[in-house]
Amino acid sequence: MGFTIFVVVLLLLVFVTLLSGIKSVPQGYEWTQERFGKFQRALKPGLNIIIPYIDRIGRRVNMMEQVMDVPSQEIITKDNALVTVDGVVFYQVLDSAKASYEVRNLEQATLNLTMTNIRTVMGSMDLDELLSNRDQINARLLMVVDEATEPWGVKVTRIEVKDIKPPADLVASMARQMKAEREKRANILDAEGFRQAAILKAEGEKQAEILNAEGRRQAAFLEAEARERSAQAEAEATRVVSDAIAGGSVQAVNYFIAQRYIDALKEIAIAPNQKTLILPIEATAVLGSLQGIAEIAKEAFGVGGNAGKGRG
């Protein structure tokens, strides 16, 4: 009976021993194996065998990319502006042994290192530069922190500054400055618009003056041409009358006198200061002149006595 109990206990002890030597590591993790307190190797995800009672599991390291919030902190910029800044850090353990044995409390160490470098980087910049160059700040922080955590077997993949809060009075001043700048731009645009409008108006007036001058020049040219033709016609008429007078035609003389007489009457009649016209002349003289015009017309067109003589 006692031997049976001994065998059962021995078998149970062997089973427990074998079971303690089998380790199943989940995906995304690595476990460190220690032998008498000294690191031996990193156990990869899956089934692993260790020596019971000699080896043991040291650290269980998360190998997945992790995110860590950076709490808000106050920073004094280069131009003595007090701002409140917070952020977020993405990192991943690449070497489980270094992350386990090269640094104590990896997450706390990474957080403190990030906060310190945020104060260093952002404290060396002016407020305007701080607000407008966030990408540059993230790149500088990433380079510095990643280099500092490399001995720990950690790769910092991204650092993002989430929020930058200047003081309330400074925000109000910036709002007034932005409003003034926008009003300045609006005034400049209005002035530019008025300038362009004035230029276009002046250009239009210039073109109108050119067109008017061109029209007046053309009108003057046509008027001069009309006067020239009228003068030529008048000269031709005078020449015809002169030839008729030289030939002894009394009717031509009467026509010439009657024309000048009628023109004089016309000028007197259209005068604006004349309301009543008194002519101390005989109507028969005028009729005689008109009769002379008729005789000239008969001679010109061959109507009357000479024409009858030709037919006779």
**Residue pointed to by tokens 């003595």:** 80
Structure tokens at 309: 């003589």
Q: What is the mean pLDDT of residues 104-123?
A: 91
For the residues of 42-61, what is the DSSP string, one character each? EEPSEEEE--TTTEEEEEEE
| C-alpha distance across the termini of the chain, in Å | 192
Torsion sign (Cα): 34, 40, 43, 47: negative
Q: What is the pLDDT of residues 120-160, one digit of tens each?
A: 988 888 888 888 888 889 999 999 999 999 999 999 999 99
Largest CA distance in the chain: 192
Q: What is the dihedral of CA 281, 283, 286, 291, to 10 degrees?
A: -160
pLDDT exceeding 90 applies to what percent of the chain?
26
Neighbours of 204 (CB within 10 A): 10
Chain centroid to CA 172: 28
Is residue 4 scored above 70 in pLDDT? yes
How far, in Å, are 175, 238, 260, 292, 306 from residue 235 at the CA level?
88, 5, 15, 20, 27
pTM of the predicted structure, to 2 decimals: 0.54
Which residues is 34 bridged to in the sheet?
A: 39, 56
pLDDT number for residue 27: 93
User: What is the three-class DSSP state of 69?
Assistant: strand
